[in-house]
Chains A and B, each alone.
Chain A
Amino acid sequence: MYRYDEFDAGFVRERVALFRDQVQRRIDGSLTEDEFKPLRLKNGVYLQLHAYMLRVAIPYGTLSSVQLRQLALIGERYDRGYGHLTTRQNIQFNWPKLRDVPDILDLLADVEMHCIQTSGNCIRNVTADHFAGVAADEWIDPRPVCELIRQWSTAHPEFSYLPRKFKIAVTGASHDRAVVKAHDIGLRIVRHPDTGAHGFEVSVGGGLGRTPMIGKVIRDFLPQEELLAYLEAVMRVYNLEGRRDNKYKARIKILVHETGTEALKARIEHEFAQLDGPSINADPEELARIAAYFAPPHYEELPAVSARLEAAKSANPVFADWIDTNGFAHKVAGYRAITISLKGIGEIPGDITSAQMRQVADLADRYSLSEIRVSHNQNLILPNVKNDDLFALWQGLVEAGLATANVGLITDIIACPGLDYCALATARSIPIAQAIAKRFADPARQREIGPLNLNISGCINACGHHHVGQIGILGLEKRGQESYQITLGGDPTEQAAIGEIVGPGLTAEAVPDAIERLVEVYLEARQVGETFIDTFRRIGIGPFKLAFQHNLEGADHVA
């Protein structure tokens, strides 16, 4: 993985010193609260319902065991012994004191981490496929490009006071696991059809929130070496023309929508044509320098089938189910990537205790070349596990309480913190996730239902990605009461789609029944080999609406 050179290390230290100074200037009154707010946000410090919250960047989702141990320490010393993984490859600590934040930032800098631009109206933490570098369907690792963008976007002199936040995601695989079409800029690494050269398919204007939009492709092929100049062109057009009169209309998706994709594309191309590329772009040698850090580790030559694994699977069906559910095909024979579910039944999605972080760090040292990933699905991943070691790893995870076999199933729920923590929330998310998980707790039933992603947001800002959940739940507030709106048919992948509303809002108590009813419609209608989304696409929302309406007659709904 990437290691800081003297410049990166120096930069992060200077940034910590700057934040210390900013806190001091706020205290002595030279900065007003309005002036200080964007500065603290750009260092990941939010003011939440009960306390401050600190959001730490895990750039493109890659972590070392050393870094994870440091996060454990921070969770213990400054939070209440845990951390919370977000839906954008960050980890949040919920109870830090403002005066402690500079010290926490120093602890992060000690392990080459930071909170820079994890919030605020600037270019945010760059995200990537969480299986980058190991996925069997990937043809190029997106992380070197992500690191280049991370550096380029850090303390950008021109793009640090944008109309609104700006999110970039990159994938280099055929299957999109990074939700690139729901980002302000989505980059898909592609090969030029004629020359075979590396480049990007560029989408702009994707986003969730109150106006969900799927990104529009504005460039089929951008040569790799021209990336930074092209990003500069997009950002300049957005910075100058994005709306600033209404924060809900300030994202680039609205500019794309109001200007029209073709017209905006023409403006971006016009700006790009006037730029002096060589003075802006990174040399190919710079990208090569970064890419060298992501060179594949030394893998052993192993047979594709492990006798040890097969024996353990037949002796232990619970282990076998876990492998089948949480294992992921690795590009190297004899290895597997393993997702550690942070969605134990009845637990808070994405929460992990400091003790568990240390246990995972130890297991990563022993079985995964000391590397860990975090996913936007709020799970952890050990990317490089030998098939021969899987049983021992599983035993270690069982001991840590982290062996839930539900990855990709209905209880692997994405949920934002909701009204339990968040100052923006209009309804609770966590208790809804817990109630649904309990309702579908039976592992055999979950496997019978098959792949199904269920996402919950506690407000219209959609941090819980409900729009792209195959089942999406949005918590709103109607006349002082929580009201949950259910959508169906969302899709976060390369076939990205926004879910459709299935009926009127429900009370919190009525949600599990309604979900159960909708799942039954699918189970009754599905044909051999179909998953939930396949059946939904074939039969449409009609039968689901009917069953939902039927169910309503016996349940409370918020009119």
Chain B
Amino acid sequence: MLLDRTGRKPDLWTRGQPDDHAPVLVAWEEWNTQARLGNDPDRLGVEIPNTLAIEDLRPVLSQVGLVAIRFGAFSDGRGLSQARLIRRAGFTGVLRAVGPLIPDEFGFALQCGFDEVELPESSAHRQSEDEWLRSLAAYSHTYQQGYRSRTSILAQRRLARLSKGQSHA
């Protein structure tokens, strides 16, 4: 099951080697820079393990339209930090989390820079689309700043201070 913040969606990507038709996701282990040259970034993606140093991925980021990060287990948070680093490197394409994530970390994944989650069938048959979307509404506000959240508590307190300052002026 593939999900983004609006719900279930069809997966247009296939795994394997590039051909002329469908967008294709190439495993990092099989990535070969020579073969990639000349391909359309919109139809080429790379799937990386959660142990990869993002420095090593940097040269590839401009050549792909999608980066997928494999989560070995939902409890392994390395992919969340990798996503942050990939976004910081300027990647504007699609960022996908692949693996047995749970609804309770969907919001965290989106905040860290992911766009979508690809679940294995083993979890998809237990967890409904509704549960995944519901989990995004669990917190109205978040305490951190600098993550992809428009509802930072610190930012809202700052705004409140500013407007109070203005009304006193």
Contact = CB atoms under 8 A, between A and B. Distances in A.
Question: Interface residues of A: mostly helix, strand, loop or mixed?
Answer: helix
A286 B157 contact: yes
A151 B154 CA distance: 10
B81 A239 contact: yes
Interface string B60-75: 0000000000000011
Interface residues of B, number: 40
Nearest to A25: B131
Contacts of A14: 138-140
A155 B143 contact: yes
A50 interface: no
Interface in A45-68: none
A155 B105 contact: no
B126 A30 contact: yes
Contacts of A5: 157
Contacts of A121: 75
A280 B88 CA distance: 13
Given A31-B102, A151-B143, A162-B77, A157 B107 contact: yes
Interface in A1-52: 5, 7-8, 10-11, 14-15, 17-18, 21-22, 25, 29-32, 35, 38-39
A154 interface: yes
B28 interface: no
B56 to A, nearest CB: 13
B17 interface: no
- Range class of the A interface residue count: 35 or more
Interface string B96-124: 00000010110111011000000000000
A279 B141 contact: no
Interface string A200-242: 0000000000000000000000000000100010001001100
A524 interface: no
A194 interface: no
A80 interface: no
Contacts of A35: 74, 102
Interface string A149-193: 001101111111110000000000000000000000000000000
A240 B144 contact: no
B146 interface: yes
Contact of A30 (B127, B149, B154): B127
Interface centre among A5, A35, A228, A276 (most CB of B within 10 A): A35
A501 B158 CA distance: 54
Contacts of A232: 146
Given A155-B108, A240-B81, A274-B88, 13 more contacts: A11-B143, A11-B153, A14-B138, A14-B139, A29-B126, A30-B131, A156-B144, A157-B109, A157-B142, A157-B147, A158-B84, A161-B74, A281-B145
Interface of B: 74-78, 80-82, 84, 88, 102, 104-105, 107-109, 111-112, 126-128, 131, 134, 138-147, 149, 153-154, 156-158, 161
Interface of A: 5, 7-8, 10-11, 14-15, 17-18, 21-22, 25, 29-32, 35, 38-39, 121, 151-152, 154-162, 228, 232, 236, 239-240, 244, 274, 276, 279-283, 285-286, 289
12 contacts: A15-B139, A30-B131, A31-B102, A35-B102, A158-B112, A160-B77, A160-B108, A244-B78, A274-B88, A280-B146, A281-B145, A289-B157
